[in-house]
Amino acid sequence: MSQELRFDGRVAIVTGAGNGLGRQHALLLASRGAKVVVNDLGGGRHGDGKSSAAADAVVEEIRAAGGEAVANYDSVENGAAIVQTALDAFGTVDIVINNAGILRDVSFQKMTQDDWDLVYRVHLKGSMSVSHAAWPIMREKGYGRIIMTTSAAGIYGNFGQANYCAAKLGILGLAHCLAEEGRSKNILVNTIAPLAASRLTETILPPEMLALLKPEYVSPLVAWLCHEDCEDTKGLFEVGAGYIGKLRWERTQGHSFNTSRAMTMDEIAGKWSKITDFTDSEHPSTTNESFGTILANLNKKSLGGNEFIDLDAASKDQ
């Protein structure tokens, strides 16, 4: 059997590591040799209050098992302070796991500005803030692994979670951009959409299901994506209950109208079934791939286009 994958010499920040998934990510990384900053504000599931108890308990658990960890109690909105804890204790940062989260579920009609702002600040701004503070360190050393935590609610939409859905899909957009910006510096950025029993799901899922949905079934994927042997970036994975799958965008073949004039809405209606037919679909993974197909229309003489436009140059300008 091959040797187990380890994180000796690596420094990891896990946000929201006082409970649920983050706690399990921190325990696993520490058990494999990583030095871990256990960040947790220690508030309630709706973002109320704060306490050092949650982070302290996980740090104690790691140390009792022979691992290395320090606590940090700042909100993820203050990423610089969290990264500073890593620098003070361990001198660097190699891994950032953006995991901290809260819920303020309410129908859009009843949602207050505060419900929107707090969820946005913890999830999207928090993921940006911690990553942004770690970014120059990772660039300088030519190594970094960043994990973002989105949600099926963000990807597919869910009733009563407009704030959460928007923030969670914003996190995916952030991840996609950082993956492109980090690629040349060996900073790899992947995103998970987990399902696990935690205080965030205890009111949504039945108890018999919760008993089986262990965070332990999510953390090994996170750890693998954080490992130096894993070369994937810009990935999005659904994970939980022993299942792991990868997602990507899908686009229909679509229909190309004549480009010598704008199409009419009646022409669109006439071609609607073709525009929305996913037979032989495409899977663009970059903006260049996306624009390439669209701009190719301009070069098709049969569509009234102009054959000498330099498409490579045009798409690179975007």
Which residues, in sequence order, are CB contacts of 291 under 8 Å at separation 6+?
A: 314, 315, 318
Q: CB of residue 34 vs ligand NAI: minimum separation in angstroms?
A: 19
Judged by beta carbon, residue 42 or residue 144, the one nearer ligand NAI is: 42
The length of the chain in residues reads 318
Q: CB of residue 226 vs ligand NAI: minimum separation in angstroms?
A: 16
Judged by beta carbon, residue 163 or residue 198, the one nearer ligand NAI is: 198
Q: CB of residue 30 vs ligand NAI: minimum separation in angstroms?
A: 17
**What CA–CA distance (Å, rounded) separates 98 from 111?**
25
**What CA–CA distance (Å, rounded) separates 139 from 184?**
9
Q: CB of residue 121 vs ligand NAI: minimum separation in angstroms?
A: 8
Judged by beta carbon, residue 201 or residue 290, the one nearer ligand NAI is: 201
**What CA–CA distance (Å, rounded) separates 254 from 293?**
10
- The helix/strand/coil state of 310 is coil
Among 4-12, 43-51, 221-229, 302-310, which window interacts with ligand NAI (CB under 6 A)? 43-51
**What CA–CA distance (Å, rounded) separates 7 from 223?**
9
Is position 214 an interface residue for ligand NAI (rule: CB under 6 A)?
Answer: no
Q: Pick from 11, 28, 122, 137: which binds ligand NAI (CB under 6 A)?
A: 122
Encoding tokens for residue 24? 């399990």
State residue 149 phi and psi, 5-degree precision.
Answer: -115, 110
Judged by beta carbon, residue 16 or residue 305, the one nearer ligand NAI is: 16
| Nearest residue to the partner ligand NAI, using Cβ | 20
Judged by beta carbon, residue 53 or residue 309, the one nearer ligand NAI is: 53
CB count within 10 Å of CB 26 equals 33
Is position 72 an interface residue for ligand NAI (rule: CB under 6 A)?
Answer: no
Q: CB of residue 218 vs ligand NAI: minimum separation in angstroms?
A: 8
Q: Pick from 195, 222, 223, 295: which binds ligand NAI (CB under 6 A)?
A: 195
Catalytic residue among 73, 120, 143, 164: 164
Site string for ligand NAI, 77-116 (x = CB under 6 A): ----------------------xxxx--------------
Which residues, in sequence order, are CB contacts of 100 under 8 Å at separation 6+?
A: 15, 16, 22, 39, 40, 41, 76, 122, 123, 126
Q: Is 164 a catalytic residue?
A: yes
42-52 b/e (C-beta count within 10 Å ≥ 16 → b): bbebebeeeee
Q: Pick from 21, 58, 83, 179: which binds ligand NAI (CB under 6 A)?
A: 21
User: Residues with catalytic annotation?
Assistant: 164
